[in-house]
Amino acid sequence: MTFIYLVHAPQDAAFAARLRADLEAKSLAAWHDDGLDSDAAVQALFKATHIVALVSPHLLQTETALGALEYARENRLERIALRLAEVATYPPQLQGILPLDATDPESYSEMLETLVVDLQIMTREQEPAPELPSALLDQVMSQDKTTRKAGIEGLAAFRHHEDEVMRNLARDELRALAFREREPALRMLLNVTMQSFDLENRPVVDDVRILTEEELAAQARELGKVVETERTPLHTGPLQPAVQRVYLWQSQRWGMLLPLLSLLPGGVVLLLGGGWAALLPLLVGVVLPPFNVYIRQGGSFIWTMPGPLIGNGLVAALLSGSLAGLGSALIAGSERGLVGLAVGLSVLFGLLVGWLSNLSFEVQS
């Protein structure tokens, strides 16, 4: 039920009393604070469904009125503002609400009619959303199989309901029940019932006719003509061999070529008396081939130039540098300069491997 609470300052009580009487004369229950019973004011505010604020300079200085407006905002009550006099600022609880002008006494009647119309629009009760009968829903949720079966049959009767919303509600309920039902017989009944809803809502076609054999044959002949007309002639010339581009890292020689090439920098270090440091380029030549195959074929990112150069150079530097440091600490017999030369040649060899991995050639298949 609509109940209008008039928020006003004590100085505007006379206007509030007149407005309350006029609203009640139009069958709109209203209340205003006459200052005699504070408990009644609180009860009326809790009962209110709509708030009409009488805005004047005095309202901004009335704590009880501002508290009532704050209550209305927090509880999302419908609010209407009436401007009784010009004010510099509005209460924050009324921000965004366009006030009705009540400053001119001669326009009171027009203001009242506008207020009543606004209140009627706000208080117009919406039609309740359609729902399935609660007794029927209790049946389908019962623990007894016989009772659930009766509820399902009751939902099935809604497929003939004139209201499409009710039909959809019943079908949705059946679909939800089909997921929850554990009894095989009842689950089958639910599926059949849902199919009956679909058949009931399927449009009826009156002009369906089965074609005769002669008509089917004529359609087949017409279709054959279209196919013959649109058929693309086969290529009758000599077949050209397919050309495929193959990268060097995909060839069978890749795994053997690089270890053999690594003998060159390793041999240089060995001839200069590098001793065990000559093994650094050889180890790089053994590790980099499978590394490139993994990156290009089994990796998770695209390996394009200058990626191969940078990647192979870094791997060679890390591998040879770490082994050189370990060897210098454990094995004596190689000068520090020759060890550095071996590391440098290993890095250069890594760059060479990166460049070779990006080479490709064409193969006819």
Where residue 66 sits, what CATH number does that domain have? 3.40.50.10140
Residue 219 lies in a domain: no
List the one residue out of 46, 102, 107 whose CA is nearest residue 71: 46
Integer Cα distance of 10 and 328 in angstroms: 97
Q: What confidence category does residue 126 fall into, taking pLDDT thresholds of 50, 70 and 90?
A: very low
| 189 vs 200: CA distance, rounded Å | 16
What are the residues whose beta carbons fall under 8 Å from the beta carbon of 317, sequence distance 6 or more?
343, 346, 347, 350
Q: What range does the domain containing 166 cover?
A: 134-201
Residues 72 and 167 in one domain: no
Q: Does residue 357 share a domain with residue 290?
A: yes
343 and 278 assigned to the same domain? yes
CA pair distance 169, 159, nearest whole angstrom: 10
The answer to whether residues 143 and 89 belong to one domain is no
| pTM recorded for the entire structure | 0.37
**Rg, C-alpha atoms of the chain:** 45
SS3 content of the chain, % helix, strand, coil (to 5): 65, 10, 30
Taking alpha carbons only, the member of 136, 165, 161 closest to residue 151 is 136
Domain boundary among 123, 148, 168: 123
Instruction: Report whether 2 contacts 50 (CB < 8 A).
Output: yes
Tell me which of 159 and 248 has the higher pLDDT: 159
Q: How far apart are CA 156 and CA 174, in angstroms?
A: 9
Yes or no: say if 267 and 328 are a contact pair by the CB < 8 Å rule: no
In tens, the pLDDT along 20-29 reads: 999 999 888 9
Within a domain: 129? no
Alpha-carbon distance of 80 to 90, in angstroms, equals 13
- How many domains does the chain divide into? 3
* Tally of CB atoms within 10 A around 273: 12
Domain match, 255 and 176 both: no
State yes or no: pLDDT of 203 exceeds 70: no
Q: Classify residue 343: in a domain, yes or no.
A: yes
Residue 191 covered by a domain: yes
Rounded to an integer, the average pLDDT of 273-287 is: 80
Question: In this predicted structure, what is the pLDDT of residue 298?
Answer: 56
Tokens describing residue 44: 């009326």
Q: How far apart are CA 77 and CA 69, in angstroms?
A: 9
Q: Do 185 and 99 share a domain, yes or no?
A: no
User: Same structural domain for residues 281 and 329?
Assistant: yes
Given this model, what pLDDT does residue 209 score? 59
DSSP classification of residue 300: S
Q: What confidence score (pLDDT) does residue 11 get? A: 93
Q: Report the C-alpha gap between 247 and 254 in whole angstroms.
A: 10
Inside any domain, residue 218: no
**What pLDDT, in 10s, does the model give residues 205-231?**
455 556 677 777 777 777 665 545 445
Same domain membership, residue 256 and residue 170: no
55 CA to centre of own chain = 45
Taking each continuous run of H as one helix and of E as one strand, the counts in the chain are 14, 7
pLDDT value at residue 316: 79
When pLDDT is averaged across residues 311-318 and rounded to a whole number, the result is 82
Domain contains 209: no
Of the three residues 70, 89, 123, the one that is the final residue of a domain is: 123
Residues 84 and 27 occupy one common structural domain: yes
Of 123, 155, 189, which one is at a domain's C-terminal end?
Answer: 123
> How high is the pLDDT of residue 187?
85
Identify whether 248 is part of a domain: yes
Which stretch of 57-71, 174-188, 224-238, 246-260 has the lowest confidence by average pLDDT? Answer: 224-238
How does the average pLDDT of the chain come out, rounded? Answer: 80
User: Tokens 């504070």 label which residue?
Assistant: 38
Note whether 260 and 310 are same-domain residues: yes
Residue 223 located in a structural domain: no
Q: What is the mean pLDDT of residues 297-323?
A: 74
- Whether 252 and 360 map to the same domain: the answer is yes
pLDDT for position 224: 65
Q: 110 and 155: one domain?
A: no
